Amino acid sequence: MKNTEIFEESMLYMPGGVNSPVRAFGDIGINPPIIKSGKGSIIRDEDDKEYVDFVLAWGPLILGHCDDDVVEAIKNTAMSSLAFGAPTNLELEMSKFLCNNLENVDMVRMVNSGTEATMSAVKLARGYTKRDKIVKFAGCYHGHFDGFLVEAGSGVLTHGIPGSQGVPEDSIKNTLIGIYNDEEQIKELFSIYGSEIAAVIIEPVAGNMGAIKAEDNFMNTLRSLCDEYGSLLIFDEVMTGFRVDFNGAQSLFKVKPDLITYAKIIGGGLPCGAYGGKREVMEQLAPLGPVYQAGTMSGNPIVMSAGLATLNKLKSNLCYYNHINNIGNQLEEGLYSIAKEKGIPIVINRYGGMMTIFFTDNESVSRYEDVKKCDKDIFKKYFIHMIKHGIYLPPSQFESLFLSVKHSEKDIDRFLEAFKLL
């Protein structure tokens, strides 16, 4: 079967033909290609068309598709260990790796997705502080947990408005909405609710409204407000962990988070998540403490081995991050120069291997409001043009594209050649 046939039949059996909404290209208005295989930086669809992939499974595949060492590790583990629901040495290896290599992680709990990691971290923070309210920022995405599915309404100091049907009012009444990079607003929020706030959760480099870094002063303010009011600061590094740098986005800031969530890269392409942080907080988790969180598949041997193969390879090849920065620069500079020639106003935000091209007249993009002003029609035209020319990108202005170790200068040239023809 070919792309169109498979997608049309998929729509009969899966809502929208997909298992996760963005895959349907809903905002773009074309059918998504059906992907059959991937190797290195290249993926191939059921029509046998090739693309240079800048989505990389939405971030995890920093080593590219089907990296030999990762595949080998999966095969080896699969020969003897699919699942036990019992402690394994692989879990110890993974936990030790994370605690020994990451700053501010004394202990970890493995889970199966980013959503699970963030919702569990928030529960732990609530259990630890014995408070209910959390602050999340408009434009940040932390997975599909009810309490996070809130958009900023106009009354940002009031309780949230559901961003999805099926989320009871009660599940979000304790979610306060902050404005990313707005110090005054967060101070105001704390001055009203401070003593009730269990935690502030933030993407230190946001990726889910396009790539935007938190400003240093803003982050310092978050830390001092959390200290003053006894709230925990949670970094959601599901996307940024091992991506913007080996030590993740936290390496870009002086402030220390109390808890950190991970997923994506740490699973090496398999379903995985983790949350960790201060020992004294983590020890509140069952079986040691009163906060209950569990998982039949958590710490699964195959997933641990894929993750460990990825992380160990990154650690012994820190030069990979230089390569990613070099091709990132090449892409960034090339795009700016072509866009200037063509008179297309753009702003590029790039942090290591994640970046977004914003189609906007603005000088910079540092807030959610700036992203909302971007030209969606040009984005759409650009996206459709690029995919036609074999460049596979995230289908939304509100996403980041990703670079891998396997992307070559030639891959970047292909991107730039295609962009020239826009």
Ligand X SMILES: *Cc1c(COP(=O)(O)O)cnc(C)c1O
Residues at the site binding ligand X, with contacts judged by CB under 6 A: 113-115, 118, 141-143, 203, 207-208, 236, 238-239, 263
In the complex, least distance from residue 240 CB atom to ligand X, rounded to whole angstroms: 7
In the complex, least distance from residue 124 CB atom to ligand X, rounded to whole angstroms: 16
Nearest to ligand X of 141, 415 (CB atom)? 141
- The tally of CA atoms less than 13 A away on the side-chain side of residue 115 is 9
* Three-state SS at 276: strand
Nearest to ligand X of 178, 207 (CB atom)? 207
Nearest to 296 by CA among 319, 271, 318: 271
Phi, psi of 297, deg, nearest 5: -100, 0
Whether the Cβ atoms of residue 273 and residue 113 lie closer than 8 Å to each other: yes
**Residue corresponding to tokens 């826009």:** 422
User: How far does Cα 337 stand from its chain's mean position?
Assistant: 29
> CA-to-CA distance for 395 and 22, rounded, in angstroms?
7
In the complex, least distance from residue 20 CB atom to ligand X, rounded to whole angstroms: 7
Query: Could you give the C-alpha distances from 410 to 86, 297, 326, in angstroms and in order?
Result: 46, 40, 13
Residues facing 348 on adjacent strands: 357
Nearest to ligand X of 91, 399 (CB atom)? 399
Indicate which residue of 51, 128, 141, 275 is catalytic. Answer: 141
Query: Could you give the C-alpha distances from 193 to 70, 132, 148, 172, 225, in angstroms and in order?
Result: 47, 11, 18, 15, 11
Q: Is 320 a catalytic site residue?
A: no
Cα–Cα–Cα angle for 183, 184, 188, rounded to 5 degrees: 120
In the complex, least distance from residue 18 CB atom to ligand X, rounded to whole angstroms: 13
Number of Cβ within a 10 Å radius of residue 350 = 20
Nearest to ligand X of 18, 378 (CB atom)? 18
Q: In the β-sheet with 391-392, what is the strand arrangement from edge to edge? A: 35-39, 42-45, 50-53, 391-392
Q: Is 382 a catalytic site residue?
A: no
Nearest to 66 by CA among 22, 33, 35: 35
Nearest to ligand X of 6, 395 (CB atom)? 395
DSSP codes joined into one string, 321-369? HHHHHHHHHHHHHHHHHHHHHHT--EEEEEETTEEEEEE-SSS---SHH
In the complex, least distance from residue 278 CB atom to ligand X, rounded to whole angstroms: 20
In the complex, least distance from residue 266 CB atom to ligand X, rounded to whole angstroms: 11
User: How far does Cα 49 stand from its chain's mean position?
Assistant: 27
Joined together, the tokens standing for residue 260 give 């950190």
Joined together, the tokens standing for residue 48 give 């046998």
C-beta nearest to ligand X: residue: 114
Indicate which residue of 45, 182, 236, 245 is catalytic. Answer: 236
Q: Is 141 a catalytic site residue?
A: yes
Nearest to ligand X of 141, 419 (CB atom)? 141
Indicate which residue of 136, 264, 313, 380 is catalytic. Answer: 264
Nearest to ligand X of 3, 396 (CB atom)? 396
* Three-state SS at 398: coil
Nearest to ligand X of 33, 114 (CB atom)? 114
In the complex, least distance from residue 143 CB atom to ligand X, rounded to whole angstroms: 4
In the complex, least distance from residue 353 CB atom to ligand X, rounded to whole angstroms: 14
> CA-to-CA distance for 198 and 174, rounded, in angstroms?
10
Q: Which residues are catalytic?
A: 141, 236, 264
